[in-house]
Structure 1
Amino acid sequence: MNLLKAASTISLLTLTSRITGLVREIMVATYFGASAWTDAFNVAFRLPNLLRRMFAEGAFSQAFVPLLSQTRQTQTEEQTQELIDQVSTALLWILAAISLVGVLLAPVLVWLTASGLHPEAFDAAVWMTRLMFPYAGLISLVALSAGILNTWKHFAVPAVTPALLNLAIIGAAVAFHKLVHPPIFALAIGVMIGGVAQLAVQWPALRKYAVVPRFRLSFLKAWRSEGVHRVVKQMLPASLSVSVAQVSIVINTQIASHLQAGSVSWLAYADRLMEFPTAILGVALGSVLLPSLSRASATQDVAKYSTLLDWGLRLTLVLALPSAIALLIFAQPLVSMLYNYGRFDHADVLATTSALRAYGVGLIALIGVKILAPGFYARQDLRTPVKIALVVLVCTQLMNLLFVPWLGHAGLALAISVGALLNASLLFRGLRRRGMFQPQPGWGRYALKVALAQLPLGGVMLWGAVALPWDRAHGDLLRLGMGLGLLAVAAVLYFATLRLLGFRLRQFMHSE
């Protein structure tokens, strides 16, 4: 399997998802702006998303995918299917129970997450939490299916399914926003429709490989199985690791809810733009690397293991650094051309820009963590990332005390960025000290060439940000055309400079 081709496939399909997600955010910004109501939706949607990241896409995937890969390589097809059946049954029952508790305790959860919301917005957040909390169960089953398909080297369907959520939210907003009160409730309806659609679209691919999970009624039988015990044993430290990151998000949301109205939404709008490079690069590379690293670990091929990590880090640098430069220099034009419509005014543009620039400081590290962490997960070493995550959590909250009084909501984003830099540094150091990663020769020369290639890209973007008009008085199509054209010119200049410096596509080809 050509890893670059696989990662490119995931990236392109993920790009489709992120574009639909951006259209979703543009629509929300146009219809609702950045207000107490959008804060309420973002808080309510964040709660099931926290659960999804903690127990599904995060801890569960980190524990399940390496075990499934190992079982597939060393056991029979029947034993592999039995593992899938038992794990899926246990997961279904656990998530059903958690979803029920979440619906019942919605007021408490919203208060713990964002007690500073306006009373009407607080009540709306409670209602939307109750409606959307079962989404956590649906999307967790989607994550289970994606883990199975990735193990079978099928990356396309899992990468494109998030687009269905965005399309469902867009459709529900258009169809229902005049039928419900307040209109923001239409977004919550769309979330549930999207959850069902994402799960449904995975099933044909699972049937193609004859690995459809067979859910059973007996929770106790599944819970007592060896496979579930092994997954749970690995999930406990992984859950703690992922939970630490989610606790940081909850704390930041709580702090933002006590700042100026709209702060939660400004951070969410900036985060959506950050998701473009982090998902297209980090998630794509991480999805490809984890199964490959797991197979290298299962065969104890240390050289291959190290080479895979080196390949991922080199690709990260050459693609993430220009993305970071773009966010830092071109943040305000980017926010203006994408969000500055309808009820999203100039003050919202400036507030979102400050958050986006603060996120941009740590972009390379945020992507790098998604490459470095699988280096531990593939070897079923989940304790080290937990310890590092705890250190990062404490440091991030200490930085909040320093940054928030000075920068407001942007201080929360800056603390996350600096925390990501610390996280990536400690993960890298841990891999090196354990002998799990040995950088290939030529890193210094490679990094210097990548840095030099940023000069024409940064120059064009700086000129465009300063010399061209970006406020909405100059017309929507003009701003969009200028922005996309400038980004295209900058990208062409960057890759042309890389070629002049001796870079060739074959350098990044890596087959397994």
Structure 2
Amino acid sequence: MSAGFAPRAEPPPSELSGIARAAAIVGLGNVVSRLLGMAREIVKADLFGATGQVSAFEVAAIVPTMLYDLIVGGLVSSALVPVFSDYAAPERRDELWRLVSTLVGLVVGVLTILVLLVEVFAPQVTWLVSGGLKPESLALATALLRLTAPAVIFLNLSGILAGLLYALKRFSLPAFTAAIFNGAIVVVALLLAGRIGIRSLAVGLLAGAAFQVLLQLPGLRRTRLSFAFNWRHPALRRIGLLYVPIVLGLVVDIISRTLSYNLASRTGDASISLMRYATTLTQFPLGLVATAVSVAILPTLSRQAADLDARRGRDDFIGTLAHGLRLVLILIIPATVGLFVLAQPIVRLIFEHGDFLSTDTATTVVVLRLYLLGVIWAAIDQPLIFAFYARKDTWSPAIVGVVGVGFYLVTALGPTLVRPMQLSDLVLANVVQLTSHALIMLYLLKRGMGGLGGHAVGMTAIKSGLASAGLAAGAMGGLWGMAAIGAPNGLVGEIALVAAPGGVGLIAYVALIALLDVPEARMLFAAVKTRLWLPRTKEASETGE
């Protein structure tokens, strides 16, 4: 290092190691969740294909999800973890228990009324979300919604408990709530599909939501939650103030998703199901990488945000965020490139069996590759949003969300001026929405805190992109090689068409990213060596990697 050069501040090695451990736990939970989510989609595709009845189930599933996002889901990272973290110190735990008890009572009361309303007005709700479906599919969606509606209560209770446990830095149990949710759907569908058909998915969804709550109860053993309410707890007002702008953004997001489903239902009865199959594959790397890192850095960012007025505090905050973004980039870029190159064999391997046809595979591949154009932007957007939440700034992401929906509507509806709407229009509109949101968030970060200059985020993206080009070349070479020698028939051949090119691409990426000397890559390699009980390098030990 040249004399006189002062590097930008980074969090101490122990803090980075804690974030890495938390990210590993959350990441493991996301791996299990995504694998079970993939199993859920495989079972769904095998049993029911890409059909109108699957689209009907997706409508019945999206309504509880949107209500969860509106009431508690949007609060977990934006308000609950930051506010709960303020009360997480041992001397303030009694206040924390009273706050959580009050919040649980309030949410359960509101949700009970809301579920009753959904049950009564289910036909109107399903028409609003998917009015373009055929009458029989719309009637089925209504019946399924009446089965899934009570899941709203369990989903929101699970969200509150997850926020509490994350604030206490107890990551293990909440990290696996999504996994048990997906697992329940798989098990119930396999057990009951022969008897009750598509309704088995709705019953599984309800069971999975309930199991999310049960899973987290052991983590509350040393807490003192009660049925006592303190409606005047000062933190309730803080949560409410943080929630107001979130509501704006969430309402806009719900309108966007509702419009997306409604428009998709008008491009074909199977369109919603095809979108779902494709987004399941894109959500796998997003959950594994972006969500895991974002959740892991949020408590640290929330604590560092208290000292933003001091230069050291600001540098620590930006350093933690930059560290998270670099971790995201070296993982999400190769994952996106690999998924793009191997889209066809992956979709064929995972979905093309049972009632899922080769024509469904071809359409899903096109939709998937279009969605992948926005995945990298979506991945870096998550840590940026969490950074604003940690600063108790929930207005900025909400307003940017409104702008993003505007971009979506213009892109989706613009082509209808000259031709009928196509499913690809909606997918590309989503890509534009994700990209614009991330770019605006980066601009706001630069304007408000000076940006990420000096933290090598851009250089990390370039190096990861170069290494990913090697991955793409290796994977395509592997595909050509498999075509030349001829892959075995059946399941073994389908696995080989994914595993062999994917393995070649992975080896190429690891070799190139190591050659390009990315610090976060060294940290991950050291973590892998530790898990495999291999000797660590002296450099890794000294840096805390």
Q: TM-score range by the shorter chain?
A: over 0.9
Is the counterpart of residue 304 in structure 1 residue 316 in structure 2? Answer: yes
User: For 2:73, what is the secondary structure of its paired residue?
Assistant: coil
User: For 2:87, what is the secondary structure of its paired residue?
Assistant: helix
**AA of the residue aligned to 1:496:** A
Post-superposition Cα deviations, 1:232-281, rounded to whole Å, max 9, x if no partner, equal: 22111112223322221111100011112210000000011111111111
Identical aligned pairs, as a percentage?
A: 28
Select 2:119's aligned residue among 103, 108, 111.
Answer: 103
Is the counterpart of residue 90 in structure 1 residue 91 in structure 2? Answer: no
Is the counterpart of residue 137 in structure 1 residue 137 in structure 2? Answer: no
1:346-385 maps to which residues of 2 (within 5 A)? 346-385=358-397
Post-superposition Cα deviations, 1:450-484, rounded to whole Å, max 9, x if no partner, equal: 22211220112223455646999931232023313
**AA of the residue aligned to 1:263:** S
**AA of the residue aligned to 1:311:** H
Equivalent-residue separation in structure 2 for 1:472 and 1:38 (angstroms) = 32
Report the CA distance between 1:446 and its aligned residue. 3.2
Contact 1:306–1:436 (8 Å) recurs in 2: no
Shift in alpha-carbon separation, 1:451–1:70, aligned structure 2, 3 A = same
Contact 1:30–1:343 (8 Å) recurs in 2: yes
1:311-350 maps to which residues of 2 (within 5 A)? 311-350=323-362
Select 2:44's aligned residue among 21, 28, 45.
Answer: 28
Equivalent-residue separation in structure 2 for 1:60 and 1:431 (angstroms) = 22
1:203-218 maps to which residues of 2 (within 5 A)? 203-207=217-221, 210-211=222-223, 213-216=225-228
1:68-467 maps to which residues of 2 (within 5 A)? 68-73=84-89, 76-180=92-196, 183-207=197-221, 210-211=222-223, 213-216=225-228, 222-300=230-308, 301-402=313-414, 408-435=422-449, 437-465=451-479
Shift in alpha-carbon separation, 1:477–1:406, aligned structure 2, 3 A = farther
Contact 2:267–2:421 (8 Å) recurs in 1: no
Equivalent-residue separation in structure 2 for 1:444 and 1:140 (angstroms) = 38
Equivalent-residue separation in structure 2 for 1:59 and 1:376 (angstroms) = 13
Report the CA distance between 1:353 and its aligned residue. 0.9
Select 1:58's aligned residue among 74, 80, 86.
Answer: 74
Contact 1:329–1:461 (8 Å) recurs in 2: yes
Equivalent-residue separation in structure 2 for 1:214 and 1:110 (angstroms) = 37
**AA of the residue aligned to 1:487:** G
Residue 484 of structure 1 aligns with which residue?
499
Contact 1:293–1:308 (8 Å) recurs in 2: yes
Report the CA distance between 1:368 and its aligned residue. 1.1
User: For 1:90, what is the secondary structure of its paired residue?
Assistant: helix
Residue 536 of structure 2 aligns with which residue?
none
Contact 1:320–1:367 (8 Å) recurs in 2: yes
Post-superposition Cα deviations, 1:152-183, rounded to whole Å, max 9, x if no partner, equal: 11112111121212221112112211222xx1
Equivalent-residue separation in structure 1 for 2:387 and 2:518 (angstroms) = 26
Shift in alpha-carbon separation, 1:441–1:7, aligned structure 2, 3 A = closer
Structure 2 unaligned spans of 5+: 1-14, 525-539
Equivalent-residue separation in structure 1 for 2:544 and 2:238 (angstroms) = 30
Equivalent-residue separation in structure 1 for 2:97 and 2:414 (angstroms) = 52
Normalising by the residue count of structure 2, what TM-score does the alignment of the two structures yield? 0.87
Report the CA distance between 1:72 and its aligned residue. 2.5
User: For 2:354, what is the secondary structure of its paired residue?
Assistant: coil
Equivalent-residue separation in structure 1 for 2:91 and 2:246 (angstroms) = 25
User: For 2:170, what is the secondary structure of its paired residue?
Assistant: coil
Report the CA distance between 1:225 and its aligned residue. 3.3
Contact 2:148–2:202 (8 Å) recurs in 1: yes
Equivalent-residue separation in structure 1 for 2:137 and 2:306 (angstroms) = 51
Contact 2:338–2:472 (8 Å) recurs in 1: yes
Contact 1:290–1:378 (8 Å) recurs in 2: yes
**AA of the residue aligned to 1:82:** R
Shift in alpha-carbon separation, 1:142–1:469, aligned structure 2, 3 A = farther
User: For 1:121, what is the secondary structure of its paired residue?
Assistant: helix
**AA of the residue aligned to 2:219:** A
**AA of the residue aligned to 2:265:** S
Contact 2:278–2:368 (8 Å) recurs in 1: yes
Equivalent-residue separation in structure 1 for 2:223 and 2:301 (angstroms) = 22
User: For 1:95, what is the secondary structure of its paired residue?
Assistant: helix
Equivalent-residue separation in structure 1 for 2:230 and 2:263 (angstroms) = 41
Shift in alpha-carbon separation, 1:384–1:87, aligned structure 2, 3 A = same
Rg comparison, structure with higher value: 2
Equivalent-residue separation in structure 2 for 1:132 and 1:498 (angstroms) = 46
Equivalent-residue separation in structure 2 for 1:507 and 1:190 (angstroms) = 39
Shift in alpha-carbon separation, 1:59–1:77, aligned structure 2, 3 A = closer
Normalising by the residue count of structure 1, what TM-score does the alignment of the two structures yield? 0.93
Equivalent-residue separation in structure 2 for 1:22 and 1:5 (angstroms) = 25
Report the CA distance between 1:333 and its aligned residue. 1.6
Report the CA distance between 1:444 and its aligned residue. 4.7
Q: CA RMSD in A?
A: 2.4
Equivalent-residue separation in structure 1 for 2:339 and 2:171 (angstroms) = 28
Equivalent-residue separation in structure 2 for 1:406 and 1:495 (angstroms) = 45
Equivalent-residue separation in structure 1 for 2:107 and 2:450 (angstroms) = 32
Equivalent-residue separation in structure 2 for 1:493 and 1:398 (angstroms) = 40
Post-superposition Cα deviations, 1:383-428, rounded to whole Å, max 9, x if no partner, equal: 1111111111011011002357588212212211121111001011
Contact 1:90–1:228 (8 Å) recurs in 2: no
Contact 1:223–1:229 (8 Å) recurs in 2: no
Report the CA distance between 1:86 and its aligned residue. 1.5
Is the counterpart of residue 67 in structure 1 residue 83 in structure 2? Answer: yes
Post-superposition Cα deviations, 1:31-86, rounded to whole Å, max 9, x if no partner, equal: 11001100100111011011112222223541111111122249622112212222
**AA of the residue aligned to 1:314:** R
**AA of the residue aligned to 2:38:** L
Shift in alpha-carbon separation, 1:65–1:328, aligned structure 2, 3 A = same
Equivalent-residue separation in structure 1 for 2:466 and 2:26 (angstroms) = 28
